[in-house]
Amino acid sequence: MCGRYSLTSPVEAMRRLFKFPEQPNLAARYNIAPTTDIAAVRVTGEKEERGHHYFSAHWGLIPSWAKSTDFSAKMINARSETVAEKPAYRGAFRSRRCLIPANGFYEWQKLSKGAKQPWLIGVKDMPLFAFAGLWESWTSPEGEIVESCTILTTGASESITFIHPRMPVILDPTYYGPWLSCEAGVELLKAVDADRMTFHKVSQRIGNVRNDDADLLKPLDLPPTQEHLL
């Protein structure tokens, strides 16, 4: 799954990679949490004018037929294995896909006695990458339009299964176009090769959404007497 991630790259780096013309004023975010507004990229426009565009979306999908936003926190992730069939996702999978820029994501390893150790996970050759996502537009009873999104997940790369059995789908840049144009299917939704993954332990501070600083990215330096426990 994916419940926290970071996005700290400059906007210009994002514009070059994802090819969107907008110039949003984005601050570095080290602890992005569900139900907040996040950066995303989609295809909009008609025929020759279609192109990649930046937009901001609520993290936690709200289907167009939903009566309220109450359950969006439970829809921050969608399993790639069933996304084409599940009623909450299949419409978006057919025609409303997006890229969600990130530099890394956090996952918690279960330890003995209920303890959990957070890890920061990334990709060696892609310091800036994109999760495969879906987006929706929902209109509230009061007429407010809310755009929301979800991150697709798949079985974890073999090198990080000891941390968690699942991971977000990280797309290769060559597939950004086919994914956004809905020309490609579930065959793209697979784990990154094991030898490309990077991962290190980080501070328990990541568990508090109010913490949002560069120190969260630093490898955890534990005394030798504690290291064997994690």
Residues assigned a catalytic role: 2, 107
DSSP E strands in 35-76: the ranges are 37-44, 51-59
Q: Compute how many other C-beta atoms are within 10 angstroms of the C-beta atom of residue 230.
A: 13
Contact between 159 and 123 (Cβ < 8 Å): no
Report the alpha-carbon angle 221-225-228, nearest 5.
80
Alpha carbons 34 and 93: distance in angstroms, whole number: 20
Q: How far apart are CA 79 and CA 193, in angstroms?
A: 19
12 touches 26 (CB < 8 A): no
